[in-house]
Structure 1
Amino acid sequence: MAKQESLRTSECPVARTLESIGERWCFMIIREAFDGVRRFSEFQKNLKLAKNILASRLRHLVEIGVFEVCPASDGSAYKEYVLTEKGRSVFPVMVAMRQWGERYMFENGETHSVLLDNVNGEPVLPIEVLSSQGHKLDPADCYRQRVIAGKKAMPEDLSMAGSEKSS
């Protein structure tokens, strides 16, 4: 069996994201944090995850800046795992995955959870990909372009020549 190459150095943002937070337990830990879980014991209890695996994934998520370890908010000797701005910015990704799952992963009549707005108790609207003018985009309406991080793409860089069509 060939050794799988790390995606940490890939030019593809999707590949790098999967390499850093795409492992299922990392994503489930982040989901729990969005639900207000902050302590190791609560993560362990809710996820029913072996302590060594949980410790490893939390350590990784702290190392990549998704969580920071803080003193317990109640003043106890415990530590809490608090989402950073980087961690909180995963929220739209989580909602998109949740909405896809709500739509396609359950049979009629099967029990599942839905995400509701705290203000009015209504389901959150489906996430859509929008153009800079606010129009809904489908995969055929977009293409990928290689750029250098931190450099603004120039109009000539955005031409179809040399771009990869997205599918």
Structure 2
Amino acid sequence: MAAMASRIRLEDRECPLSTTVQHVGEWWTLLILHDAFDGYTRFDQFQESLGISSSMLTTRLKTLVTDGLLERRPYQTNPVRHEYVLTDLGRSLRPVIVALAAWGNSRLAPEERAMILIDADSGEEVDPAIVDAKTGHRLDDSDKYVFTAGPAAGPAMRDRYATRPPAPARDE
């Protein structure tokens, strides 16, 4: 994590986006988490699915365990072998992975999509959206929903949001 942390500016260390990217912003990390959501738990499963080198996979899995997103558990004693299981914190990232995949699919014609999200009961494709839990309104309206400094904001974060640039024009 030291290499990743050095890329974050001092004023970004309190920004939730910067700190999240520090944990999951690496290419292989997102793909490993995606595989974990699909039920993969064992080193060889991840390696076969992703075509990743064993040294890179070892490094990424260690980081995911250290960050509390995966738990390393023994599943065999002779020889000792471990599996990697999503923690509650790791499972809480599922909506983020779903949103990223949905954004990627939104840029493709339906017949070009290699993976889609469906309702497991009906088999119908779903269209994921991030919504406000209180109102159910979609959060992709940049005129209605904007970031501002929170209660724990330091001076740099408060300065950032003291004056707000105008919202970008929408194509309608």
With the shorter chain as reference, the TM-score category is 0.7 to 0.9
2: CA distance, partners of 1:136 / 1:116: 20
* Cα RMSD for the two superposed structures: 2.8
| Contact 1:61–1:67 (CA under 8 A) maintained in structure 2 | yes
The CA deviation string for residues 89-138 of structure 1, in whole angstroms up to 9 with x for no partner, is: 0000011111111110x356435111122111112332133263333331
Which of 111, 126, 148 pairs up with 2:128? 126
Q: What's the counterpart of residue 83 of structure 1?
A: 86
Give the alignment of 1:57-72 within 5 angstroms. 57-72=60-75
Q: Say whether residues 1:40 and 2:43 are aligned partners.
A: yes
| Contact 1:143–1:163 (CA under 8 A) maintained in structure 2 | no
2: CA distance, partners of 1:78 / 1:7: 36
Which of 97, 102, 111 pairs up with 1:99? 102
Q: Say whether residues 1:23 and 2:26 are aligned partners.
A: yes
- The Cα of 1:139 is off from its aligned counterpart by 1.6
1: CA distance, partners of 2:19 / 2:112: 34
- Residue 10 to residue 163, structure 1, CA distance change in 2 (3 Å): farther
Tell me the TM-score normalised to structure 2 length.
0.76
- Residue 164 to residue 68, structure 1, CA distance change in 2 (3 Å): farther
Q: Percent identity among equivalent residues?
A: 35
Q: What's the counterpart of residue 7 of structure 1?
A: 8
State the SS of the aligned residue for 2:83.
strand
State the SS of the aligned residue for 1:26.
helix
Tell me the TM-score normalised to structure 1 length.
0.78
Counting matched residue pairs gives 153
- Residue 115 to residue 135, structure 1, CA distance change in 2 (3 Å): closer
| Contact 2:102–2:127 (CA under 8 A) maintained in structure 1 | no
| Contact 1:116–1:123 (CA under 8 A) maintained in structure 2 | yes
Q: Which amino acid aligns with 2:128?
A: P
Q: Which amino acid aligns with 1:123?
A: E
State the SS of the aligned residue for 1:79.
strand
State the SS of the aligned residue for 1:80.
strand
Unmatched 5+ stretches in structure 2: 154-160
1: CA distance, partners of 2:128 / 2:103: 9
- Residue 68 to residue 164, structure 1, CA distance change in 2 (3 Å): farther
Q: What's the counterpart of residue 158 of structure 2?
A: none
Unmatched 5+ stretches in structure 1: 152-160
More helix per residue = 2
Farther off after superposition, 23-32 or 110-119:
110-119
